[in-house]
A and B are shown apart, each in its own frame.
Chain A
Amino acid sequence: MTERIDIRNMRTRTEAINALPTVPSALKQISAMFEKPRLSIDELSGFISGDPALTSKILKMVNSAAYGFPNRISSISHAIMLLGFNVVRGLLLGVSVFDLMQKNIAGLWEHSVGCAVAARCIAQKKNLQEPEEVSICGLLHDIGKVILILHYPREYETVLAKARDEGISLFEAEQSRFEATHADVGSWLARKWRFPVNLAEAIEYHHTPHLSRQAKLETAIVHVSDILVRARGIGINGDMLVPDIHPESWTLLQLTDDDVRDILAELETAASEAEDL
Chain B
Amino acid sequence: MRKVSIDQLEPGMVLERPILRGSTVFLGKGVVLGETAISRLRSMEIEHAFVEGSEEQPISCDEAMTLLDERFRNKEDDPLLKHIKNLVREHIAGLYD
For A231, the chain B residues whose CB sits under 8 A away are 68, 71-72, 84-85, 88
A72 in the interface, Cβ–Cβ < 8 Å? yes
For B3, the chain A residues whose CB sits under 8 A away are 272-273, 276
Q: Which residue of A lies closest to B25 (CB)?
A: A72
Q: Is the CB of B72 within 8 A of A272?
A: no
Q: Is the CB of B91 within 8 A of A232?
A: yes
With contacts A59-B23, A272-B3, A276-B3 taken as known, whether A264 is within 8 angstroms of B87 at the C-beta atoms is yes
Please tell me which stretch of A23-31, A125-133, A134-142, A237-245 contacts chain B, meaning at least 4 of its Cβ atoms lie within 8 angstroms of it.
A237-245
Q: Which residue of B lies closest to A239 (CB)?
A: B71
Tell me the count of chain A residues lying within 8 A, CB to CB, of chain B. Answer: 35
With contacts A231-B85, A242-B71, A242-B72 taken as known, whether A75 is within 8 angstroms of B23 at the C-beta atoms is yes
A265 in the interface, Cβ–Cβ < 8 Å? yes
- In Å, the complex CA distance between A48 and B21 comes to 18
A191 in the interface, Cβ–Cβ < 8 Å? no
B1 in the interface, Cβ–Cβ < 8 Å? yes
Q: Which of A52-94 touch B at CB < 8 Å?
A: 52, 55-56, 59-60, 63-65, 72, 74-75
For B62, the chain A residues whose CB sits under 8 A away are none
For A241, the chain B residues whose CB sits under 8 A away are 71, 73-74
- In Å, the complex CA distance between A133 and B16 comes to 26
Q: Is the CB of B23 within 8 A of A55?
A: yes
For A233, the chain B residues whose CB sits under 8 A away are 64, 67-68, 71
For A65, the chain B residues whose CB sits under 8 A away are 1, 17
B42 in the interface, Cβ–Cβ < 8 Å? no
Q: Is the CB of A268 within 8 A of B50?
A: no
- In Å, the complex CA distance between A60 and B24 comes to 11
Q: What 0/1 pattern do residues 49 to 78 of B give for CB contact below 8 A with A?
A: 010000100000000100110111111001
B interface list, Cβ under 8 A from A: 1, 3, 17-18, 20, 22-25, 47-48, 50, 55, 64, 67-68, 70-75, 78, 80-81, 84-85, 87-88, 90-92, 95
- 5 sample A-B contacts, Cβ–Cβ < 8 Å, listed by A number: A52-B22, A56-B20, A63-B20, A232-B92, A242-B71
